[in-house]
Amino acid sequence: MPRIGPTDLTAIERTPTSPAALTQGLSHVLASSLAIKAKVESCNWETGEYRVVLQGTLDMEETKFEKP
């Protein structure tokens, strides 16, 4: 798996984006992380609007995905 860089990380903020593109971007971030947590900050059951915050630590080790 290729390493994630700053450009990749900020790409998930681009709007508008499709759910499929966002899913792929978030999957890449999660797979490249050593630790991750999620917090549901708000949810409006009348409108369906929600806010989820992800916080994590990216794995900065260059050789993590190289075969021995």
* pLDDT given for residue 48 in this prediction: 96
Is residue 55 a contact partner of residue 67, using CB atoms and an 8 Å limit? no
Q: What is the pLDDT of residue 45?
A: 96
Q: Which residues contact 3 (CB under 8 A, 6 or more apart)?
A: 32, 62, 64, 65
Query: 67: pLDDT confidence band, cut at 50, 70 and 90?
Result: low
Give pLDDT, residue 54.
92
Rounded distance between C-alpha atoms, residue 22 and residue 18, angstroms? 6
Tell me if 46 sits within 8 A of 66, measured CB to CB. Answer: no
Domain ranges of the chain: 6-58
Do the beta carbons of residue 54 and residue 36 sit within 8 Å? yes
State the pLDDT confidence band at 12, using cuts at 50, 70 and 90.
Answer: confident
- C-alpha–C-alpha distance, residues 41 and 50, integer Å: 8
Q: Report pLDDT digits (tens) over 14-59.
A: 767 788 888 888 888 888 889 999 999 999 999 999 999 999 998 8
